[in-house]
A and B are shown apart, each in its own frame.
Chain A
Amino acid sequence: DAGVTQSPTHLIKTRGQHVTLRCSPISGHKSVSWYQQVLGQGPQFIFQYYEKEERGRGNFPDRFSARQFPNYSSELNVNALLLGDSALYLCASSLEVRLNTEAFFGQGTRLTVV
Chain B
Amino acid sequence: GESVGLHLPTLSVQEGDNSIINCAYSNSASDYFIWYKQESGKGPQFIIDIRSNMDKRQGQRVTVLLNKTVKHLSLQIAATQPGDSAVYFCAEMMGAGKSTFGDGTTLTVKP
Contacts and interface: CB of A to CB of B under 8 A. Distances in A.
Interface stretch (B13-21, B38-46, B56-64, B77-85): B38-46
How big is chain B's contact interface, by range? Answer: 20 to 34
Contact of A103 (B42, B89, B97, B104): B97
Contacts of B89: 42-43
A42 B99 CA distance: 11
Contacts of B97: 31-33, 48, 92-94, 97, 101, 103
Contacts, number: 74
Interface string A65-83: 0000000000000000000
Interface residues of A, number: 30
A100 B52 CA distance: 12
A98 B96 contact: yes
B95 A97 contact: yes
A56 B42 CA distance: 24
A94 B34 CA distance: 15
B96 A96 contact: yes
B98 A100 contact: no
B100 A99 contact: no
A100 B45 contact: no
A102 B100 contact: no
Contact of B96 (A42, A44, A97, A107): A97
A21 interface: no
Interface of B: 31-32, 41-46, 49, 51, 89, 91, 93-104
A-B pairs, 4 with minimum CB distance: A105-B43, A42-B101, A33-B97, A101-B96
17 contacts: A32-B97, A41-B104, A42-B91, A42-B101, A43-B44, A43-B89, A43-B101, A44-B101, A55-B95, A90-B43, A98-B95, A100-B32, A100-B49, A102-B46, A107-B41, A107-B42, A107-B43
